[in-house]
Amino acid sequence: MVAGNRSALSGRRVLELADESGTYCGKLLADMGADVIKVERPGGDSGRWIPPFLAGIAGADRSLHFLYMNTSKRGITLDINRPESRPLLRSLALSADIVLETLPVGRLDDLGIGYASLSAEKPEIVVTSITGFGQTGPHAGWKSSDLVAGATGGPLHVIGEADDPPVALAGEQQFLMASTCAAASSMIALLAARRTGRGQHVDISLQETTLAVSHISGVGKWLDDGIIPRRVGTGLTASVPSGAYKCQDGRVYLMVNRPAHWKALAQWIHEETGNEEVLDPLFEGPSSKRIEYRELLDLFISDLTALHTVDEVFHEGQRRHIAFTPLRTTEDSARDPHLLSRNYFVDVDHPTVGTLSYPGAPFRPEATPWAISRPAPRVGEHNAEVLGGELCMAQETLQALGESGVI
């Protein structure tokens, strides 16, 4: 469970001033070996109270979201809004290779740790900012959220039944996509800084990231095929046929994009159900040719999936190179034979809640292994270690800051 000296970001420090829109970025960097110092307000950030909670019991160390999103980090408390905290905050920032932040545009400058100010003293520093609409432009000052990013970035426009209210993507996917992009961009900026001696201000927009990474939002399909995606239930305009289909014991999800994939599926339907119509050349070619026949094709596919269990459709679909995947519950995923055989889940021991099984590596670099080096920090767990030991603050000063509510 210990990252060791071979980690990709060993020896690098990240100062994290991030809410849930950027905390996954910090986790990615921390699990790759960076020393990520998470700054929370005194008493702990609101992220500690995001459900679900372990055994359904709320507590500062019992949020499963917080426990997962903050592995491998050290944690300190600091009220960055207090003037007394400014010199300490600047010292922390200048000790870092990366400052990761999700504050409103311009707030870093107000705190005395904007990119221009820090880079004047430490030219190689990287500041990575995640905001709703970026650092510049007419919407830079607008507030955002995962839901707002899903609406302005496109997914809410194309998900769900046409006559129903909008449907949000589950699991804060806009935050996750932006954090992933921020982590990758930060490492690129670090590499450039090592080569040139100059850091960068990495500007990540939730809206722009959502537009860029989600093919379902419509821009790519419009450019490729002149198609404007619409809401078509569980399916996608960008992939026809697609959607969730009933099996004997659950549902599978299907996406057909390439002409060869459709031909393979049509042949399978014909073999199992005797359907001759499905082989009509009228349905062949790219997805755009099948859009007007979507409802009919859904019936053909449902006739096939109704004959089988989820696993039968999944594995036979794999054999035929057709993109079927089971729709699994969290409990099903924890028991998934493939994930278990890959040793995907890892045990992490936390001093308050004990040992839990966590989702493991999102990727596995061979030369610089990924690892969870420590559990999520308790509130202010590393105040003495970081502020007293590494920034050399006297014990009396730390005590005074604590009594005054600064830390």
Q: How far, in Å, are 14, 128, 141, 144 from residue 104 at the CA level?
A: 19, 13, 7, 10
Q: Would the pTM of this model clear 0.85, i.e. be above it?
A: yes
Over the range 274-287, which residues count as b (16 or more CB within 10 Å of their CB) and which as e?
Answer: eeeebeeeebeeeb
Q: What is the pLDDT of residue 104?
A: 97
Question: Which part of the chain has CATH 3.30.1540?
Answer: 230-246+251-326
Alpha-carbon span 279 to 267, nearest angstrom: 7
The CATH 3.40.50.10540 portion of the chain extends over: 13-213+341-403
Give the tokens for residue 198.
């100059």
pLDDT for 159 equals 86
Give the whole-angstrom CA distance, residue 400 versus residue 388.
13
| CATH architecture, range 230-246+251-326 | 2-Layer Sandwich (3.30)
Separation CA 17–CA 31 (nearest Å):
17
Mean pLDDT by 10 residues, the chain (407 residues): 68 97 98 97 96 96 97 97 94 98 97 97 98 97 95 88 87 95 98 97 96 74 77 87 96 94 98 97 92 95 98 97 94 92 96 96 90 97 94 89 92
ω before 241 within 30° of 0 (cis)? yes
Say whether domain 13-213+341-403 belongs to CATH 3.40.1390.30: no
The confidence score (pLDDT) of residue 157 equals: 85
